[in-house]
Amino acid sequence: MFDTLQDRLTATFRNLRGKGRLSESDVNEALREIRLALLEADVNLSVVKEFIAACREKLTGAEISQALNPTQQIVKVVNEELIGILGGQTREVRFAKNPPTVIMLAGLQGSGKTTLAGKLGKWLKDSKHHPLLVAADLQRPNAVNQLQVVGQRAGVAVFAPEPGNGIGDPVAVARASIEEAKRKLYDVVIVDTAGRLGVDAELMQQAIDIRNAVNPDEVLFVVDAMIGQDAVNTAQAFAQGVGFDGVVLSKLDGDARGGAALSIARVTGKPVMFASNGENLKDFDLFHPDRMASRILD
């Protein structure tokens, strides 16, 4: 649909070969294209402004290296800057010294938490862990059942409240799951929590209560990459509410160009740790900042 940034810049700088230094107007022209590329990728406007300012500083008066043409040089600076904001390197899960490691999932309803619980469970199982999924989303009538189906598909055990015991207390379920994990030697506990369609004070408090009860090693904020600009507001609300250590971007198989990753990383300072790109268990990987930078600039 779009020309790549590289194509656009090549067109802009066709006549720039042989120059020793990028002039102010060369830099301005390039930054205009970069700004457009970022906005088309749905990067938050204030993040775009900040990003452009940082690139301007690096590019103004920069000598054109012998080895690269001006376009390549600009793309290199922009790419490095993007990768830097996205955390530089893949951030791995921090496993607890004394198992079980507790991973809590938080995010809006429909963001992909339950699906992610299955994917994470399978991924951990495949790397020789012994995970337990915990149904602490007792808000939606079908959520427990959905997690059980996902767990079965992934071949991972699920801890859920006994049916027929009323709706139950998600904090108590989460707390009991840790005891269960210790008893049955599960080494990673993945706690699925309830979300609403919008940020909601009551559910945020519930997430905080669950957090306090299970003292997670990692709280992962799961966010639908397709929500674009809204991702920043939602991420900020969760950062200030329950707080989180890392981000999971879901639905990257859609046509979102990944601007949410950059916006959230910049605004919250938290790394994106995993990328979810489909409804199947295998559609999941660690997040690679360099690949996302290419996707944003493509």
Positions at the binding site for GTP: 107-114, 192-196, 250-253
The residues in 36-95 that bind ligand GDP, with binding defined as CB under 6 A, are none
| Residue 148 interacting with ligand GDP (CB under 6 A) | no
Query: What DSSP assignment string belongs to 192-234?
Result: EE---SS--HHHHHHHHHHHHHH--SEEEEEEEGGGTTHHHHH
| Residue 234 interacting with ligand GDP (CB under 6 A) | no
* 182 in Cβ contact with 188 (< 8 Å): no
Give the 3-state secondary structure of residue 101: strand
Among 57, 179, 202, 279, binds ligand GDP (CB under 6 A): 279
Q: Residue 102, CB half-sphere, CA atoms under 13 Å: how many?
A: 21
Count of C-beta atoms within a 10 Å radius of residue 211? 22
Which residue, chain included where needed, has tokens 């066709």? 14
| Residue 111 interacting with ligand GDP (CB under 6 A) | yes
Cα dihedral sign, 64-13-56-46: negative
Binding residues: 107-114, 192-196, 250-253
Smallest gap from residue 109 Cβ to ligand GDP (A): 5
Q: Which is closer to ligand GDP, CB of 268 or CB of 276?
A: 276
**# chain residues binding ligand GDP, by CB under 6 A:** 17
Encoded tokens for 213: 């009860």
Taking CB under 6 A as the binding criterion, the range among 17-25, 75-83, 93-101, 104-112 that sits at the site for ligand GDP is 104-112
The residues in 241-260 that bind ligand GDP, with binding defined as CB under 6 A, are 250-251, 253
Give dist(CA 274, CA 83) in Å, integer. 15
| Residue 110 interacting with ligand GDP (CB under 6 A) | yes
Smallest gap from residue 182 Cβ to ligand GDP (A): 26
* 100 in Cβ contact with 182 (< 8 Å): yes
| Residue 295 interacting with ligand GDP (CB under 6 A) | no
Q: Which is closer to ligand GDP, CB of 113 or CB of 266?
A: 113
| Residue 193 interacting with ligand GDP (CB under 6 A) | no
Give dist(CA 2, CA 38) in Å, integer. 12
Among 44, 71, 73, 114, binds ligand GDP (CB under 6 A): 114
Binding site for ligand GDP (CB under 6 A): 107, 109-115, 195, 250-251, 253, 276-279, 283
